[in-house]
A and B are shown apart, each in its own frame.
Chain A
């Protein structure tokens, strides 16, 4: 079968390249914005999602996970006594100050967990043993934050809020939404290194005992603790994500950028396909005269759009992956799961096909006399 679509497309090399650039621009922009959005979305609740708690008890009217407020640890003792609670633990997430070895300070988020149970601890340790954080003033940091923390090495001594501490290992993939470095340590160490006092906690994690339902235990805890908020893990995770993505507008800004890429890509591809259609309008008219149906001609235009989308997506994705690699080297991790790649491919195909609609509309109105004009 002779492919008029393919031959016409590759014959207009300059126009083909312009269309490809348009698609590549859209693919790169959408991929990066969507990847950053996804990474931020995951980061917004990363510690909540990795902790093995069913319920989170927080201060009243907390906006999100990273802006936790301290409250009395009496809550922790009260929670333990509530029917249906298997265990409860104190958990800390609070801002502190890290003194760089070369001088200067950096804001960090101290994460204090129970080193016996490891609930809420980092989930991927690439160097050192997590159990060692139970010892006095031992901390772990994420490998991606090393540069920001002054490039310390494992074994180095540093200072957190004036307290000397030793880096005993490195984690991977533990990034906060605000990009403030996490510093993992035991709850006891965290109290010493933070601005909190003894007898305070920021969160209480609760595990529901077998035979009890999470909503039931949540309700009972809320009745016992009227001055706190009690969330299921999913509720708290969603609340934190919603805060960053919707309330602050950060997510919408990312989505708007991705949408802009889509719109610009659609315009460029649409304009190119339309110009190509106009240039070949007499050929389409001839096809009609020799017996091609409108559907046959639409198929040629759609086939051109599909060829554009496959080549544009493939080359655009290679560029996007290169940019993402550079971004990762610069410390900004971008998520790129295969499902997202498939989604972006689908968006690219839709973009190219929708771009050809104007051309299809034009074809339906071809004047048959056109073929008789020399």
Chain B
């Protein structure tokens, strides 16, 4: 049985060959199985977001392979990739990225439409997903009328649309207060456990580390190996020193 996600010797270089060449991801190897809650940490510019884009099929590696359930998605054409994203991946963004002209339920419904679920079936599924994230009462509100936490709940519901086995989240708590952030992380953790999904999250936030099944560290485009505990520990301390102290009550 192939792993859910596998990266073999993946490198991604921006502006290759020019004077402004940047190696964002440098010979990364990674295997992740389903049902895990993985947090990727690292300082700004370490290549976390690029790695997330590679995992999501939004970016192709300069070298190496990215496989999803044994299918090498890094070799797929631009026409084939949207199909993979529709079926296998749900995204959660730091800035929520909701459609401002659509209500909460329409936001989820529109995503289901993209994933080829249409009509009343889409509407019903959207309502069920919003219920799952505890937003039934606010489903007919526009994003501008929702709080940050509510918006992120809509984004989580949207990521779950179409039941993808992989949820990729880019700093989903960065724009939220600590209490709301904790609730959202708790929700994602629960989804990962209850629905056996892989949640792969990029974060700067050391306060959520306790939720993770696995913590990965990245620095200068390189993923620090599990065996390299000394380097990981050093990096963890570096990251922890770069974020503000926890808000009282966060650790509860």
Question: A residues engaging B (CB < 8 A)?
Answer: 1-2, 4, 7-8, 10-11, 282-283, 285-294, 296, 368-369, 371-374
B105 → chain A closest CB, angstroms: 9
Cα–Cα, bound, A2→B90 (Å): 19
Cα–Cα, bound, A282→B91 (Å): 14
Determine whether B93 belongs to the interface, using a CB cutoff of 8 Å to chain A: yes
Cα–Cα, bound, A373→B189 (Å): 24
12 CB < 8 A contacts A-B: A1-B118, A2-B110, A282-B97, A285-B97, A286-B99, A289-B58, A290-B158, A290-B161, A291-B89, A292-B114, A369-B50, A374-B93
Cα–Cα, bound, A89→B175 (Å): 92
When distances are taken between beta carbons in the complex, the residues of chain A under 8 Å from B184 are none
Contact between B109 and A374, CB atoms less than 8 A apart: no
Cα–Cα, bound, A292→B114 (Å): 6
Contact between A7 and B102, CB atoms less than 8 A apart: yes
Contact between A7 and B158, CB atoms less than 8 A apart: no
When distances are taken between beta carbons in the complex, the residues of chain B under 8 Å from A294 are 78
Contact between B58 and A290, CB atoms less than 8 A apart: no
Closest 8 CB pairs of A and B: A291-B86, A368-B58, A374-B95, A291-B85, A7-B101, A11-B101, A2-B110, A286-B97
Question: B residues engaging A (CB < 8 A)?
Answer: 49-50, 52-53, 56, 58-59, 78-79, 82-87, 89-91, 93-95, 97, 99-102, 106, 109-111, 113-115, 118-119, 122, 158, 161, 170-171, 174-175
When distances are taken between beta carbons in the complex, the residues of chain A under 8 Å from B79 are 293
When distances are taken between beta carbons in the complex, the residues of chain B under 8 Å from A282 are 95, 97
Given contacts A8-B99, A290-B111, 11 further A-B contacts (CB under 8 A): A11-B100, A288-B82, A291-B83, A291-B87, A291-B115, A293-B82, A369-B49, A369-B58, A371-B93, A372-B53, A374-B94
When distances are taken between beta carbons in the complex, the residues of chain A under 8 Å from B170 are 372
Contact between A290 and B99, CB atoms less than 8 A apart: no
Known: A4-B102, A282-B97. A372 touches B49 (CB 8 A): yes
Cα–Cα, bound, A72→B224 (Å): 108
Partner among B82, B95, B102, B161 whose Cβ is within 8 Å of the Cβ of A292? B82
Contact between A372 and B93, CB atoms less than 8 A apart: yes
A2 → chain B closest CB, angstroms: 4
When distances are taken between beta carbons in the complex, the residues of chain A under 8 Å from B86 are 290-291
A303 → chain B closest CB, angstroms: 13
Partner among B84, B95, B101, B118 whose Cβ is within 8 Å of the Cβ of A4? B101
B151 → chain A closest CB, angstroms: 12
Cα–Cα, bound, A291→B85 (Å): 5
Known: A4-B99, A290-B91. A369 touches B82 (CB 8 A): no
Cα–Cα, bound, A368→B174 (Å): 20
Contact between B97 and A283, CB atoms less than 8 A apart: yes
Cα–Cα, bound, A8→B106 (Å): 13
Partner among B85, B99, B161 whose Cβ is within 8 Å of the Cβ of A289? B85
Contact between A1 and B101, CB atoms less than 8 A apart: no
